């Protein structure tokens, strides 16, 4: 059986990973994360079963601890220290996966990349694909020897609230929201308490699920059609946003797959915007 070529250059197949698991410079990272509404415990699931040798990247712990916003990017020094402790250097080949297939792994992939790692990939189909093929897993926590990760943040890859305000005011950059249509329209409650429902005035909506099929990134044709249907001009600058800066990266990955971008990620996303009474919100 011939394997289909992944839609993105940043995706590695389960077969490739199985062949390279023993490589000295390869690090496998479990980047699973779930909303509280999903009733799943990422760390507990990792401890129960993970790809052999994988370390757990906790996006809530490797984050800016000075803010109330969830899993915001930490500073370069803090990131370098945290992932160095996990046994990862910026020169390693890093393969990230998650327990959903394609949900939080792109966020972790993007984070490693913007802090200076070059050879970072996402496991195509994630842990569900790996286990469906009856490939081996192990339990417990993996402890790797500490490494030095020389971190330097690419600030141009990250959008702050002021960048979003400017983009909405002057129309220079499109805001594309990866949340569900119901949340975007303000017809569904936000999973985080205290947040207003709706969206930023002028934002476009492309639920990330429109470009994910069975836990995998959809075909390039499907991705291109989804962006077009959402009214996005992929030749113009884009900032992607979502609930808390996680699935916004799925859209950025999709844009890269069709040769567009790079998109900037609004790190605070709706948790910041919807939680600030001074920022405008509209409903459909």
The answer to whether 184 and 248 are in contact (CB under 8 A) is no
pLDDT of residue 4: 67
For the chain, give the percent of residues with pLDDT over 90: 92
Q: 6 pLDDT exceeds 90?
A: no
Residue 3 lies in a domain: no
Q: Which of 123, 153, 183 is the last residue of a domain?
A: 153
Q: Are residues 100 and 169 in the same domain?
A: no
Alpha-carbon distance of 195 to 198, in angstroms, equals 9
Q: Are residues 87 and 45 in the same domain?
A: yes
Q: Are residues 127 and 139 in the same domain?
A: yes
Q: 36 pLDDT exceeds 90?
A: no
Question: pTM above the 0.95 mark?
Answer: yes
Q: 41 pLDDT exceeds 50?
A: yes
Residue 281 lies in a domain: no
Q: Are residues 113 and 235 in the same domain?
A: no
Q: 75 pLDDT exceeds 70?
A: yes
Q: Are residues 174 and 142 in the same domain?
A: no
Sorting pLDDT into bands at 50, 70 and 90, what band is 2? very low
Higher pLDDT, 35 or 105: 105
Residue 6 lies in a domain: no
Q: Which of 153, 188, 215 is the last residue of a domain?
A: 153
Q: 1 pLDDT exceeds 60?
A: no
Q: 193 pLDDT exceeds 90?
A: no
The pLDDT tens digits for 157-183 are: 999 999 999 999 998 899 999 999 999
Residue 145 lies in a domain: yes
Residues 6+ apart with CB under 8 A from 136: 51, 52
Q: Are residues 123 and 17 in the same domain?
A: yes
Length of the chain as a residue count: 284
Give mean pLDDT, residues 74-84.
98
Q: Which of 135, 153, 171 is the last residue of a domain?
A: 153
Alpha-carbon distance of 86 to 146, in angstroms, equals 6
The total number of structural domains in the chain stands at 2
Question: What residues make up the domain containing 165?
Answer: 156-273
Residue 67 lies in a domain: yes
The answer to whether 178 and 277 are in contact (CB under 8 A) is no
Active site residues: 242
Task: Output the domain CATH number for residue 257.
Answer: 3.40.250.10
């Amino acid at each position: 059986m011939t394997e289909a070529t992944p839609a993105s250059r940043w995706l590695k197949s389960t077969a490739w990973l199985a062949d390279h698991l023993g490589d000295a410079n390869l690090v496998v990272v479990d980047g699973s994360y779930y909303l509280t509404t999903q009733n799943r415990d990422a760390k507990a699931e990792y401890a129960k079963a993970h790809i052999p040798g994988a370390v757990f990247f906790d996006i809530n712990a490797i984050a800016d601890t000075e803010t109330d916003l969830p899993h915001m990017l930490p500073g370069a020094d803090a990131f370098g220290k945290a992932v160095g402790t996990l046994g990862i250097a910026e020169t390693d080949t890093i393969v990230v996966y998650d327990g959903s297939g394609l949900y939080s792994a792109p966020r972790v992939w993007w984070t490693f990349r913007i802090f200076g790692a070059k050879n970072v990939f996402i496991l195509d189909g994630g842990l569900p694909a790996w286990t469906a093929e009856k490939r081996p897993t192990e339990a417990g926590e993996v402890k790797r020897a500490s490494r030095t990760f020389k971190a330097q943040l690419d600030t141009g890859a990250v959008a702050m609230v002021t960048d979003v305000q400017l983009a909405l005011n002057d129309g220079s950059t499109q805001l594309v929201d990866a949340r569900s249509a119901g949340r975007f329209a303000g017809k569904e409650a936000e999973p985080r308490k205290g947040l207003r429902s709706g969206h930023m005035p002028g934002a476009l909506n492309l639920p990330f699920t429109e470009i994910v099929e069975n836990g995998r990134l959809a075909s390039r044709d499907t991705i291109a059609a989804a962006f077009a249907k959402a009214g996005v001009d992929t030749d113009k600058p884009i900032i992607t946003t979502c609930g808390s800066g996680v699935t916004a990266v799925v859209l950025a990955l999709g844009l890269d797959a069709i040769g567009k971008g790079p998109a900037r990620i609004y790190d605070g996303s709706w948790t910041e915007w919807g939680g600030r009474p001074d920022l405008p919100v509209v409903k459909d």
